[in-house]
């Protein structure tokens, strides 16, 4: 029974809600619950897209729970491992950033494949760990520069800067800005459109991109070749070509 994560399934979409008040932080127990949710979603073949958000209206996640410092030797590698798993998940993951996303919460958001952030005064995103004399330990030093560039990432990390949704959109940190009443509608709309895409192809694109980012260009190209060979034998490819020739919408089943 998960106490810090709410997991819901709405047809082909999995909804993960971080529910650890007051700031939706991650202690060891919350990380273990998050891992359980990922396990369940990954094993469910009907789930094609995942949306992650925070409980309440003020906070996506403030990251590491400093009150759980006794477990820090376990939480630091566990958080990095899980955020890496999000980054390399076999299905698209959308972060619906409903409030501030700081430290490890920002690192979780930038591990997701898409980010939609609410535009309200208290909603800010940033890596603030250096303010405490530590550094981002859940992938922030690696993923933020890939999104916004090295110079801007250094400026944000070294000075612990927090930016709002319009600023985050301008620098390429997020994909969309939403009003408070539209955030989840936009996230679920994007999830629904992604769920209509051929799931095997989507998974192969994610796998090839991850291979290239983690292993370099040659590894990414090899993953492309391997994926193309697998897809050529799939029912979805036959359906895609048949639908094209018959001038109808394809029905992809992930087989």
Give the residue with greater pLDDT, 177 vs 239: 177
- Given CA atoms 154, 157, 162, 166 in this order, what sign does their dihedral have? positive
- CATH number, domain of 41, equals 3.90.226.10
In a domain, 254, yes or no: no
In a domain, 252, yes or no: no
Whose CA is closest to 174, among 91, 229, 101, 92?
A: 101
Domain count, the chain: 2
In a domain, 255, yes or no: no
What pLDDT is recorded for position 254?
A: 67
What pLDDT is recorded for position 210?
A: 95
Whose CA is closest to 196, among 251, 242, 239?
A: 251
Q: What is the pLDDT of residues 34-50, one digit of tens each?
A: 999 999 999 999 999 99
Whose CA is closest to 138, among 171, 172, 110?
A: 110
- Alpha-carbon distance 113 to 222, whole Å? 22
Which residues neighbour 156 within 8 Å (Cβ) at sequence distance 6 or greater?
Answer: 126, 127, 144, 148, 163
In a domain, 105, yes or no: yes
Q: What is the pLDDT of residues 67-90, one digit of tens each?
A: 888 998 999 999 999 999 999 999
- Alpha-carbon distance 37 to 47, whole Å? 12
How many residues are listed for the chain in this entry? 255
Which residues are designated catalytic?
107, 129
- Alpha-carbon distance 52 to 96, whole Å? 6
Looking at the structure, tell me whether residues 132 and 64 fall in a common domain: yes
pLDDT of residue 9 exceeding 70, the answer is yes
Looking at the structure, tell me whether residues 119 and 107 fall in a common domain: yes
| Domain extent at residue 207 | 199-246
Looking at the structure, tell me whether residues 32 and 117 fall in a common domain: yes
């Amino acid at each position: 029974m998960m106490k810090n994560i709410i997991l819901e399934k709405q047809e082909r979409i999995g909804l993960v809600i971080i529910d650890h008040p007051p700031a939706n932080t991650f202690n060891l127990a919350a990380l273990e619950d998050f891992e359980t949710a990922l396990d369940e979603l990954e094993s469910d073949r009907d789930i094609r897209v995942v949306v992650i958000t925070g409980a309440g209206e003020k906070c996506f996640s403030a990251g590491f729970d400093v009150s759980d410092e006794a477990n820090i030797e376990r939480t630091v590698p566990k958080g990095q491992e899980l955020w890496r798993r999000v980054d390399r998940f076999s299905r698209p993951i959308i972060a619906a950033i409903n409030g501030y996303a700081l430290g490890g919460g920002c690192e979780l958001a930038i591990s997701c494949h898409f980010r939609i952030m609410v535009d309200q005064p208290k909603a800010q995103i940033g890596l603030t760990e250096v303010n405490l004399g530590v550094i981002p330990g859940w992938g922030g030093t690696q993923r933020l520069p890939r999104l916004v560039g090295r110079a801007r990432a250094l400026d944000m990390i070294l000075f612990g800067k927090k930016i709002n949704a319009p600023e985050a959109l301008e620098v390429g940190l997020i994909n969309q800005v939403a009003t408070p009443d539209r955030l989840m509608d936009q996230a679920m709309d994007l999830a629904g459109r992604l769920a209509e895409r051929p799931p095997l192809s989507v998974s192969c694109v994610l796998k090839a991109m991850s291979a290239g980012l983690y292993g370099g260009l040659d590894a990414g190209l090899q993953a492309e070749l391997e994926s193309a060979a697998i897809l050529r034998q799939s029912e979805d490819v036959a359906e895609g070509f048949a639908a094209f020739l018959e001038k109808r919408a394809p029905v992809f089943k992930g087989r």
